[in-house]
Each structure stands twice: as C-alpha cells, then as structure tokens.
Amino acid sequence: MMSSGYTTLDNQKVSGSVPAASSPDHVELRFPENNLQTFPPSQTQGKITGTFQPPTDADDSFSKPGPGGDQDDNQSSGWQRYFGVAPYQPYFNVDTSDVLERIRDSLLPYKGTFSERTIHNPDLYGPFWICTTLILVAAALGNFVGYIAHKKHHKHWNYDINQVTWSAGLFYGYVSVIPLAVYFVLKYFSVPSGLVNLWCLYGYSLFVFIPASCLSVIPLEIFRWVVVGAAGFMSATFLAINLRSHIKTASERWFLIVSGIFLLQLGLAVILKLYFFTIVLGKD
C-alpha cells in the first residue's frame, strides 16, 4: 500500500490535467491566487455580475423597443395609425353589462341621461351589433310577412333576397352618414360634439326597431302602423332629449337642429314600415 504522506510540489502554475505523483509521499496541490472562492468572479465578462443577478435585460427585453422602434412609433403616429387596430380598441372595450345598461337607457327616452353616461366612454360594439341584428331581423321578417300574406291568398311567393341588400344599405348607411352630417352641422354652429359619441347615440337608438319588427309579423295593418310609429317616436325622442340639453346651451338655433334630428328618425321608421312590412300581392 501507499504511505499516508504526500509529496510536496513546487509553487508552479498548474494547468490542464494534474501530473501523476512522482513518489509515494504525499502530494500537495497549490493553485495561483485567483477568485475561485467567489462565484461569479468579480472580473468576468458578459452579463454576469458579482452579485449574481439575472442579466440586466432579462426583465425588459420584450418591453423595450428594438432597433428602430422609436422611428417606427414616430412614423405610425401620423395618419397611418388610423389603418391599424389599436386606435379603435377603446371603443370596443365594453362588457355585456355595459351594453345591456345602454340598451335599457335607449328604451327609456325621457330620462335623457345616455349622453352623460357615455360622454367619456362611448362604444361602437353595441351599435354595430344592434344595427347588424336589425338588418337581419328586418329582412327575414319582411320576407316572412310576405310569405304569410301570399299563402293566405293562395298566391305564389318568391323569397326577395334584395331585402337583405336594401336593409344593409339603409341601416348601415343611416347610422354612419346621418351622425356624420349632424357632426358637421354642430361644428358649423360652433357646438362642441364628438363623432364617436354621435355614432354611439344613433346606434343604440335603433334597438327599439328590433322588437317593433318582431311585432310587425302580426297580420293587422293598423297594428303594424301603431307599433312602428311608437318605435319611431321613442327612438326620435331618445335622440332629441339627449341632444337638446347639449345643443341648447351652445346654439340659439337648437330647436331647428333638434327638430330636424327628430323628423329624420321618424322618417326612418316610415321607411321601415313601407318597405319591409307593407304587402303587395302579385296578380298570379
């Protein structure tokens, strides 16, 4: 067996593998002074520091803009940003309870609190789906009413696909163009207004026409006129009351503006009744 002693080596720099012992005496290894007693060493390169923290860019590598990020933001801050999704996200940031509450306010036109509640957070989500639903309901039920009337008189009936096209053009066009026209009229009379607020107000004003269209399937002409007329009056009153207090304090011609808005909404109700729920029987 080997003896319990070790052979002492000279103070030399030892690199690579340890040389074999030259004698059975004990062997003592000595390394040069370095920083092996601490990890990581204080004099290291790269992103590892002596306090053993993660790399400095580990937490914000996704939050900091990459090369040219500032330039990209500056370039997209002009008119090009309107072609993206981000500018329109706040107008769709609503939940079901918000939409239902605003629909309820539209069915209670005499409260006149809709504009005050939505002045800082108007949405386009509710108006879009209300208008889309009204388009489909009016076209579908209009064809259904025609089918019932023709079958009652033993007449031949064909589905009118044009009602879908006319319905989309009517309601999408109305809820887009009329608020835009009102916006420019208010600007002309120096009345402060927001275009998105007007789109929101007009969009929710159309909701009452959905139940009115459902009730119009009852085959009584006078009843249809009463239902659609009441819906038109409620919708027009909702618009007029919510805009009156806002326009009255800023323009002396507020009555003419509000009256025009009221009559246009009544005209929409008349068009709805005449085109979708007035039956013209064929000769065959």
Asked whether residue 81 is assigned to any structural domain, the reply reads no
Domain of residue 240, residue span: 94-279
pLDDT confidence of residue 117:
86
pLDDT confidence of residue 151:
82
pLDDT confidence of residue 63:
36
Asked whether residue 47 is assigned to any structural domain, the reply reads no
Q: Are 178 and 243 in contact (CB under 8 A)?
A: no
Q: What is the 3-state secondary structure (H, E, C) of 180-191?
A: HHHHHHHHHCCC
> Total domain count for the chain?
1
Asked whether residue 122 is assigned to any structural domain, the reply reads yes
Asked whether residue 57 is assigned to any structural domain, the reply reads no
Q: SS3 for 139?
A: helix
Using the Cα atoms of residue 20, residue 21, residue 22 and residue 24 in order, give the sign of their dihedral.
negative
Q: Left (φ > 0), alpha (ψ -120 to 50) or beta: where does 40 sit? A: beta
Which residue, among 81, 109, 74, has the nearest Cα to 208 in the 3D structure? 109
pLDDT confidence of residue 67:
44
∠ CA(99), CA(203), CA(80), 5° rounding? 95
Q: Are 183 and 198 in contact (CB under 8 A)?
A: yes
Which residue, among 139, 154, 149, has the nearest Cα to 213 in the 3D structure? 139
pLDDT confidence of residue 77:
55
Partner residues linked to 8 by β-bridges: 28
Asked whether residue 55 is assigned to any structural domain, the reply reads no
pLDDT confidence of residue 65:
41
Q: Which two tokens stand for residue 162?
A: 């044009």
Q: Are 281 and 155 in contact (CB under 8 A)?
A: yes
For residue 144, CA distances in Å to 151, 165, 244, 261, 279 come to: 11, 16, 39, 31, 11
Asked whether residue 2 is assigned to any structural domain, the reply reads no
Radius of gyration of the chain, Cα coordinates, nearest whole angstrom:
38
Q: Are 139 and 167 in contact (CB under 8 A)?
A: yes
pLDDT by residue, tens only, the chain of 284 residues: 444 454 555 555 545 555 555 555 555 555 455 444 444 444 444 443 444 444 444 443 333 444 444 444 444 555 556 565 666 677 678 889 989 999 999 999 888 889 888 888 899 999 999 999 999 999 999 999 888 887 887 787 788 888 899 999 999 999 999 999 999 998 888 888 889 999 999 999 999 999 999 999 998 999 999 999 999 999 999 999 999 877 887 667 888 899 999 999 999 999 999 999 887 665 55
Asked whether residue 248 is assigned to any structural domain, the reply reads yes
